[in-house]
Amino acid sequence: MFATHDALGYPFQFGPDRMLWRGVELMLHTPWLLVTFEINSELHRTFLLKGTDELLRFAEGSGPGTLSSVRLVLPPDGSPGSDWIFVPVRRVEKERRSIDGAVVSAVVTTSDGRRYGSFPIQPLDRANSDLELLVDLGTTSS
The pLDDT value given to residue 100: 66
Tell me the pLDDT tens digit for each residue of 43-87. Answer: 898 999 988 888 998 888 777 888 899 999 999 887 777 899 999
Please write the tens of the pLDDT for every residue from 16-30. 778 888 888 888 888
3-state helix, strand, coil split of the chain in percent (to 5) is 15, 45, 45
DSSP state for residue 27 in the 8-state scheme: S
**pTM for the structure as a whole:** 0.84
pLDDT digits (tens, 9 = 90+) for 95-108: 887 766 677 788 99
| Cis peptide preceding 123, ω within 30 of 0 | no
pLDDT of 141: 46
Question: How much is the pLDDT for 142?
Answer: 47
CA 123 to chain centre: 14
Strand partners, 6: none
Cα dihedral 93, 123, 49, 39 sign: negative
